Amino acid sequence: MSTGLRQVLRQGQQLVMTQQLQQAIKLLQLSSLDLVSFVEQQVESNPLLEFDYAPAETAQQPAETSAVAPADDGDAPIDSRYDNVFTNDDRDMAPAPRDDDGIQSLPASPWTSPWGGGEAGMPVDASARLAVPVTLRSHLSDQLGMTVTDSRQRMIGRYMIDMVDDAGYLREAMGDVAERLGCKIADVEETLALLQQFDPPGVCARNLSECLALQLKDRNRFDPAMATLVANLEALADGRTGWLKRQCGVSDEDFADMMQELRALDPKPGLAFDSPHTEVVVPDVLISRRPDGAWAVELNADVLPRVLVNAHYYAEVRHVSRSKQDRAYLSDCFSNASWLVKALDQRAKTILKVASELVRRQEGFFAHGVSQLRPLNLKQVADAIGMHESTVSRVTAGKYLVCPRGTFELKYFFTAAIAAADGGESHSAEAVRHRIRALIDREDSKAILSDDKIVELLLDADIEIARRTVAKYREAMHIPSSVHRRRLKSGR
């Protein structure tokens, strides 16, 4: 065999991930809110790209982009049409009138005046209009500053206030606080007792029992019977009401009044201030039922940005451009702007195609509920619409649809399959969970269903499932075991 250098010509195919292809993939998996932010950045950086604020026809008269004829087998064809889904609303973008000197001003209204809208025409400090939210820690710090004058106790109190969580609880041990601050534990406990008198009642408690006890003390209702009830919350959760009545030494009527007072308390007093941030879910797809009974599938045009390429401005600037660098820059801007318009159009079409296929395959869910949900995976949808599984996965990530039954993420309709006992069509795992919950809700208090009994009942319904799977589904739905349910229902 000879050795040496030589040239060999080979021909092959290789997928090259260009920058535009990478951005197209990223664009496909963006949520509606992230998409708007991305398009705004592109419009700011590209002089040839602009928003189209003209009213779109679809905003005035929505087109029926897709329809599914109702059928028991859910295999009816879909008529998909895609017409101008990019839209926006320009009602809030109208320019305000300008004064003679060119300064833009707000239109006159009964609430404004030449001096800024103050009472009786007097000027008002603009900072007074700012609505600053009051946090739990700032609320407690204000009370600490007005109540405590000792510098050492104020320092301990500030540290403990910083340790309070959003629910209003102080989880750190008092011994650890004393060790970190280098003070006596008696000083820490004295400061804690002071903080627990602050508003809202129940704040700075170390556990639920102490939180409820502080609120009852504030209402002057912490008698020995109520103290016994609060100290035995675990027994109350287990449904041992008979044992609790004997421990409290009260009658059935008094115990009912005590339970009513307990339910009126706030187990998380701090959430009135530091409430957790709530993410707003904006649906990307709208599902509605047409008068003829078919399902109409359309994109939510209100969340799709509508952009245009200003070709006229491009031609003008290119005509006066002299250098090669300017012409190259304009060409890049024009190419990027054209690509973005096409990418947005393709993204909308892909979402609509996937959503239409989901509605076709899960038509039983939209018509009858969770019990008719079918097992489905990404490959089935990808093969049906002629796309790759990864594309379907990106489309369904972070996208939501709204239908008469509520708002659901697109990934909700992909569920695992559970085999049928008679070898027939498989059952959806979500539908089986729904059936388990329905069986437990209908169970008799004198005949509580065990997991083994639920397995038998599901087997009678041609659903073959293991007992450990039933237990896993039950725990995922936060349903207690048969022993705890028997105690709860017997104590009612």
Homologous superfamily of 416-490: Homeodomain-like (1.10.10.60)
Q: How far is CA 413 from CA 183, 404, 419, in A?
A: 58, 15, 18
pLDDT at 58 over 60: no
pLDDT at 407 over 50: yes
How much is the average pLDDT of 406-414?
88
> Quick one: residue 199, left, alpha or beta (phi over 0 = left, psi -120 to 50 = alpha)?
beta
Q: How far apart are CA 452 and CA 475, in angstroms?
A: 15
- Please tell me the predicted confidence (pLDDT) of residue 1: 58
User: Is residue 230 a contact partner of residue 247, using CB atoms and an 8 Å limit?
Assistant: no
Q: What is the DSSP string of 297-315?
A: EEE-GGGS--EEE-HHHHH
The answer, yes or no, to whether residue 68 has pLDDT greater than 60, is no
Please tell me the predicted confidence (pLDDT) of residue 228. Answer: 92
Q: What pTM was computed for the model?
A: 0.55
Hey, where are the domains in the chain? 19-86+281-411, 136-272, 416-490
Give the least confident one: 159-168, 304-313, 417-426. 417-426
Predicted pLDDT of residue 117: 38
| pLDDT tens-digit map of 265-303 | 999 998 887 554 556 778 899 999 999 888 999 998 888
Q: What is the 3-state secondary structure (H, E, C) of 416-471?
A: CEECECCCCCCEEHHHHHHHHHHHHHCCECCECCCHHHHHHHHHHCCECCCHHHHH
Per-residue pLDDT at 383: 92
What pLDDT is attached to residue 195?
Answer: 92
pLDDT at 278: 56
User: CATH assignment of 136-272?
Assistant: 1.10.10.1330
Residue 325: predicted pLDDT: 87
**d(C-alpha 219, C-alpha 239), whole Å:** 26
Phi, psi of 3 (to 5 degrees): -115, 150
SS3 282: coil
Residue 214 has pLDDT above 90, yes or no: yes
- What average pLDDT is seen over the chain? 78
Distance CA 373, CA 415 (A): 8
The mean pLDDT of 22-26, rounded to a whole number, is 76
Question: Stretch 340-344: mean pLDDT, rounded?
Answer: 88
Task: Summarize pLDDT for 227-255 with one digit per residue, the tens.
Answer: 999 999 888 887 788 888 888 998 888 89
